[in-house]
C-alpha cells in the first residue's frame, strides 16, 4: 500500500516536503520545547482512548452481567442496548449524542465524544465478556454458591478470575478498534489527532506527508496496545 502511495505521488510530480513535518510535531524556541499541532492532537486522542476504554469495559461488564441475570427487565435492557448500538452507524450515534443528549444534559463536548465511543465499543465488549463468563464451568458457579458466595463476591472471587484470560485477546481487539474509532470525534470539532492533521493539510497542502505521519502515529499506538494485551494474557496464563 505504501508503495502505491509513493508511486502515485511520484507519477503526479508531487514535491515531497518531509523536512517540514517535524515542526508540526514539536519545536524548540529559545531552549523551550513547544508541542506542534499533531502532538497536541495526539494527547487529546490518548485522553479520549483511555477514558473511553475504561468506561467501555465497565459498561461491557455491567451489560454482560445483566444479559446473564435472572431479571427479565435487566436482560431486555441489555439486549436493546446491544442491538441498538451494533446495528446503527457510529457517526449517527455521535451526532445524536452531541446534538441531542449532550445538549439536553449539558455534557461538555469532549465528554460527549468519550461517552459515544465508550458506549459503542461497550456493546461489543459486553458480548465478549458474556461469552467468557458462560465459558466458565457451571460447576464453579455452583461451588461458589454452596460456599456462601453470592452476587458481587461470586463474580469477583470465582467467575471473573477464570473468565479474564478468556476475554483478554478479543477485548484487546476491541480496544484497538476504540483507538481507531476515536477519530470520529473530529465530526464534532474536537481537536484530536485526526482533526489536527486535517487542519495542517488544509494550511500546507502536505497531504501525503501529514496523513502518512498520522497513520504511523496511530499504528504505533495500536501495536503498542496489542503487545500490552499480549503481555497481560501471558501473565494470567503463568498464574
Q: What percent of the chain has pLDDT over 90?
A: 63
More confident residue, 61 or 149: 61
Distance CA 82, CA 124 (A): 8
149: three-class secondary structure by DSSP:
coil
Which domains are present in the chain?
2-238 (1.10.3720.10)
Residue 166: which of 137, 132, 129, 197 has the closest Cα? 132
pLDDT score, position 149: 59
How far is residue 170's CA from residue 229's CA, in Å, rounded to a whole number? 10
- Specify the pLDDT at position 159: 75
Digit-coded pLDDT (tens) for 157-204 = 677 777 888 888 899 999 999 999 999 999 998 999 999 999 999 998
* Residue reference for cell 506527508: 209
First to last CA, the chain: 41
Collapse the DSSP code of 225 into the 3-class scheme (helix H, G, I; strand E, B; otherwise coil) and give the result. helix
φ, ψ at 65 (rounded to 5°): -65, -40
DSSP 104-142: HHT--HHHHHHHHHHHHHHHHHHHHHHHHHHHS-HHHHH
210 versus 149: which is more confidently predicted? Answer: 210
Q: Which residues contact 170 (CB under 8 A, 6 or more apart)?
A: 128
Under DSSP, the state recorded for 70 is S
Q: pLDDT tens digits for 120-151?
A: 999 999 999 999 888 876 666 656 655 665 66
Question: Which among 102, 123, 120, 121 is positioned nearest to 112, based on CA atoms?
Answer: 102
Amino acid at each position: 500500500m505504501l508503495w502505491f502511495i509513493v508511486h502515485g505521488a511520484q507519477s503526479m510530480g508531487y514535491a515531497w516536503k518531509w523536512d517540514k513535518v517535524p515542526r508540526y510535531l514539536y519545536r524548540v524556541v529559545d531552549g523551550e520545547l513547544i508541542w506542534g499541532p499533531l502532538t497536541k492532537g495526539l494527547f487529546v486522542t490518548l485522553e479520549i482512548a483511555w477514558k473511553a476504554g475504561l468506561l467501555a469495559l465497565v459498561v461491557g461488564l455491567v451489560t454482560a452481567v445483566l444479559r446473564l441475570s435472572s431479571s427479565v427487565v435487566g436482560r431486555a435492557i441489555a439486549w436493546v442496548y446491544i442491538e441498538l448500538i451494533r446495528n446503527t452507524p457510529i457517526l449517527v450515534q455521535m451526532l445524536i449524542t452531541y446534538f441531542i443528549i449532550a445538549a439536553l444534559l449539558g455534557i461538555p463536548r469532549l465528554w460527549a465524544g468519550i461517552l459515544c465511543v465508550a458506549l459503542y465499543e461497550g456493546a461489543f465488549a459486553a458480548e465478549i465478556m458474556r461469552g467468557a463468563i458462560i465459558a466458565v464451568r457451571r460447576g464453579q458457579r455452583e461451588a461458589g454458591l454452596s460456599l456462601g458466595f453470592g452476587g458481587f463476591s461470586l463474580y469477583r472471587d470465582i467467575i471473573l478470575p477464570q473468565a479474564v484470560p478468556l476475554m483478554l485477546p478479543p477485548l484487546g481487539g476491541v480496544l484497538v478498534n476504540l483507538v481507531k474509532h476515536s477519530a470520529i470525534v473530529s465530526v464534532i470539532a474536537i481537536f484530536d489527532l485526526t482533526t489536527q492533521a486535517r487542519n495542517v493539510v488544509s494550511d500546507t497542502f502536505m497531504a501525503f506527508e501529514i496523513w502518512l505521519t498520522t497513520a504511523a502515529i496511530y499504528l504505533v499506538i495500536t501495536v503498542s496496545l496489542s503487545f500490552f494485551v499480549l503481555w497481560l494474557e501471558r501473565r494470567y496464563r503463568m498464574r
